Structure 1
Amino acid sequence: MLKKVIVLLLVGFAVYYLLSTPADAADFVSSAFGGIMDAFQRVGVFFDELVN
């Protein structure tokens, strides 16, 4: 029960943050997406070097 309450509070805070500061939220999403793409690129380089 406590876990559900904590998850709901975190989701509620995330929604509030997205709605109250959309510019900051857009920057966060952009940087997170860039980080994910960078991680995939590094994994690709690792496997490329592993094969060669």
Structure 2
Amino acid sequence: MGVVTAVQAKKLIKWGAIGMAAFYLLNKPADAAQTVHGAFNGLVTAGNSMAQFFAQLT
């Protein structure tokens, strides 16, 4: 009964991360918005870099 399976550990980590994100969002919404904005900018930069790379291949 005391053994935690990999599936149980994965669920625990997932729900823990969701709980921490919700706590962060509710307690510091401006910081959470800045974090999302930074992550989005990172994705856009990565996409632009990949597009530039593939354009150079042709």
TM-score (norm 2): 0.81
Q: Distance in 2 between matches of 1:21 and 1:40?
A: 29
| Partner of residue 36, structure 1 | 43
Runs of 4+ aligned structure 1 residues displaced above 3 Å come to none
Unaligned runs of 5+ in 1: none
Identity across aligned pairs (percent)?
Answer: 41
Q: CA RMSD in A?
A: 0.8
How many residues were matched structurally? 51
| Partner of residue 26, structure 1 | 33
TM-score (norm 1): 0.90
Name whichever structure is richer in helix by fraction.
1
Structure number with the bigger relative contact order (C-alpha 8 A, sep ≥ 6) is 1
